[in-house]
Amino acid sequence: MYPALIEEYVRPQSVADALAAIARYEAGDAIFLAGGQSAMQAMKSRMLRPQCVVDLQAISELKGIVSDASGVRIGAMTRYVEIAASAELQGGFAALGDAARRVGDRQVRNRGTIGGSVCWNYAASCTPAVVLGLQGQLRLTSGDGASRSVAADDFFLGPLETARNDDEILLSVEWPLFVERSGSAYAKWGLVTDALPVIGVCVRVSLDADGRCESARVVLSGLANGATHVAAGDSLLLGCDGDADAIEAALKRIAQDTDTHSDMSADADYRRQLIVSIGRDVTATAFRRARGEA
């Protein structure tokens, strides 16, 4: 298996040059290539048949994690291996590291990027669920120089669909606000260790001064519709102080009310069971992190 004929390979040094390269082709005939851990498979199976490949590897402005008082910004070309090792992604951002450390295998983590993962938005994937759980902002720019910021809730439109236009490049995933006393976590279960999620759970909580949950987000991965925000789950955790019984009860309700599906990996009931068993640990970890405990 190898890709269909590619007419042009370019390696721009800047975002402006990458956008200029894409603009020379009809929409969809030129594609951006990040780590290639999804795009190469898709090109070899001929699901993607680009005439032009615009390789983003040399664009340094797309790389790196910046964390300061005004929030966190992760460049689109930042790789899993860097997110996994980042000491800056603590507390409310810790779920990003949880996911990155468990994507695929070492070789995939050495290449795959946060930008490629969210732009691909595979149904059974980890990073889209975490970015949705942590309410990231996706910063996009296009050839006319205009840049826009799209909330994760509006960006992920279902499996392999996002709000990104073909001629737009994702610059970064950003969090403009730093929320005190917040914690997050992500975990998944797959058919083999670190495989694609049959079910994954991302939970983020923020606590008030008395340690009670004042805001929460519950997002599931591995459902037929891809990363899914369970808004009812958010309210079930409100007021909770991290008590194990309360968490268990909330997770059972979430599992009961979730429209899970059956496929060759797991049936619908098993997926519900996974939501509870993974979710209780993830939620407890998110509370611990919000309290500043390890």
Partner 1 sequence: MINIKLTVNGEVFEDTVTERMLLVDYLRDQLTLTGTHVGCTYEGVCGACTVHLDGEAVKSCLLLAAQADGHEITTVEGLANGGPLSALQQSFSDEHGLQCGFCTPGILMNMSEFLTLNPDPTDDEIRHGLIGNLCRCTGYVQIVKAVRNAARAMRETS
Ligand X SMILES: Cc1cc2nc3c(=O)[nH]c(=O)nc-3n(C[C@H](O)[C@@H](O)[C@@H](O)COP(=O)(O)OP(=O)(O)OC[C@H]3O[C@@H](n4cnc5c(N)ncnc54)[C@H](O)[C@@H]3O)c2cc1C
76's contact among ligand X, partner 1, none, with CB below 5 to 8 A by partner kind, is ligand X
Query: Residues binding ligand X: what is the number (CB under 6 A)?
Result: 32
Q: Which stretch binds ligand X (CB under 6 A): 103-111, 130-138, 179-187, 263-271?
A: 103-111
**Closest residue to ligand X using C-beta atoms:** 116
| Residue 4 binds to partner 1 (criterion: CB under 8 A) | yes
6's contact among ligand X, partner 1, none, with CB below 5 to 8 A by partner kind, is partner 1
44's contact among partner 1, ligand X, none, with CB below 5 to 8 A by partner kind, is partner 1
Tokens of 172: 């970064």
Whether residue 230 contacts residue 218, with contact meaning beta carbons closer than 8 Å, is answered with: yes
| Residue 108 binds to partner 1 (criterion: CB under 8 A) | yes
**Pairing mode, strands 52-55 and 8-10:** parallel
| Residue 55 binds to partner 1 (criterion: CB under 8 A) | yes
Q: Give the orientation angle of helix 268-290 with respect to helix 244-257, to 10 degrees.
A: 140
Alpha-carbon distance values, 29 to 1, 3, 53, 167 (Å): 20, 14, 9, 10
Q: How far is the CB of 287 from partner 1 (least distance, A)?
A: 26
Q: Which stretch binds partner 1 (CB under 8 A): 18-26, 38-46, 147-155, 241-249?
A: 38-46
Whole-angstrom Cα distance, residue 141 to residue 119? 13
The interface with partner 1 within residues 204-263 (CB under 8 A) comprises none
Which of 22, 119, 150, 254 is in the footprint of ligand X by CB under 6 A? 119
| Residue 125 binds to ligand X (criterion: CB under 6 A) | yes
| Residue 37 binds to ligand X (criterion: CB under 6 A) | yes
**Pairing mode, strands 71-75 and 169-175:** antiparallel
The interface with ligand X within residues 152-181 (CB under 6 A) comprises 169-170
| Residue 8 binds to partner 1 (criterion: CB under 8 A) | yes
Give me the residues that bind ligand X (CB under 6 A), please.
31-39, 56, 76, 103-105, 108, 111-113, 115-117, 119-120, 122, 125-127, 169-170, 194-196
